[in-house]
Structure 1
Amino acid sequence: MQKKRSGTSVDADAPARLIAAQPFAAGLGDDALERLIDTAAHRRVAEGQFLFHQQAAATRFFVVIEGKLKLYRISAAGSEKIIGRVGAGDSFAEGIAFMECPRYPVHAQAIEDSRVIGLSRKVYREQLIASPETCLAVMGKLTGRISRLLDEIECLTLRGGRDRVIRFLLGLVPNDGAARNDATITLPARKNTIAAQLSIRPETLSRILAGLNRDGLIQRTADPHRLYIPEPAVLRREFDESTGGQRF
């Protein structure tokens, strides 16, 4: 979409381009996209601050400009279960467009200072009704998320803590990691947040990482947020042998 407003700088146009590039915008014509972009509300969310709470009335879905947020629920026992994390360029909560009485299914909390764009659920729903292509694109994205969550549930219920940690680390290896002899990964959150996502205690996570380091499968670096994996294929083989070759 080339349309620009008078006096708009390149930087000011960046959020509009970010929105236009999202899967949820697939199939939208220029006019429909412009109408959606016109509903954009920018918001800063400081580390630890909530963007929204579970079961709150949902009027907007979001795109992250910068920073990271965690999406989680609280169990009946009071423990935190992280459903996912989102960072710069990610969108989330689009599913509210399909709800008749929309409420957010999770809490959204910043794990570092963040900026997000909120878009109108009402306006977007009108576009979904008018554009089958857009509706199918969003449904495809949501189906992918559901599939990943089912894989995670299976891993959490059938595998031990070590397997969960290895699977998590493998998910951080760059796409070309399998073709290389080594890889350096960056942990996307603090260890207590990662532990909550894997349904283990932070001290258990630390013990498992120490064990993987001792076994030579990973190596700590000077940066506590980064880990070196000398041979990703060996780490993958460790996981496959433990799970009988079944990839979660």
Structure 2
Amino acid sequence: MERASGDARRRRIADHVMEHGTATGAALARLTGVSLMTVHRDLDELERRGVLRRFRGGASALPSTVFEAGLDYRLGVNTAAKQAIARTAAKLVEPGMSVMLDDSTTVLAMARLLVDMAPLTVVTNARRVVDVFADREGVRLIALGGEYSRTHDSFLGVPCVEAIEALSVDLVAVSTSALDARMAYHQEQDVVLVKRAMLASSASRVMLMDRTKLARTALHRLAPVSDLGHLIVDEGAEPELLAGLRERTRVTVAAGP
């Protein structure tokens, strides 16, 4: 078996544990083709990041069923689905608009598709979204300040919320950790406050969610689904859930590649 790099291996371990709920160290060693000692070190690191919970001999998914790992981890997860969703979301933006983009990886994929849509005003709290537009002619770029989060590579906190509340944009695009038929959720209070403020900054609100985040909950309620103007998901979402969501908001299923 070809051995993956450390980051890729840990992503595979995390995905396996989340899919199955629990896994032994021995099973993960067979899955990844590395020693049990290496697996234990990986599990220690994933627990430190808040991705999973260790127990004697293995690991389990967190009780909340979701987690918010570091940005570099999230960038490598469900990339095809995120690209499909991003392509669909980008079609909602026209030259001359003002758009507010959050710090999610799906919205980052959307941002990369908007670079040639000048003139455009872009408002964001995400450092990597700033990098996308920093050298683009015809783009008015407004960076939202606040307390820097290394986990999210973005700015959060009261200063960020206050900066958002001073603005009104044509369209806001956000993502979050979990969503069921009635409510969107996130497990971090600081993130919830920023995303709520963003959603309130525009009458045109778009939520981007890949199917792994659906039919899940987290600690904090972010917003009712009925308050989301448009929900974009990828193919593979459960039909029953989609029907429930469509009773409350507009839903678009993004086609694959």
Select the structure that is richer in helix. Answer: 1
Structures share a fold, TM > 0.5? no
TM-score, structure 2 as length reference? 0.29
Q: Which one has more relative contact order, counting CA pairs under 8 Å at least 6 apart?
A: 1
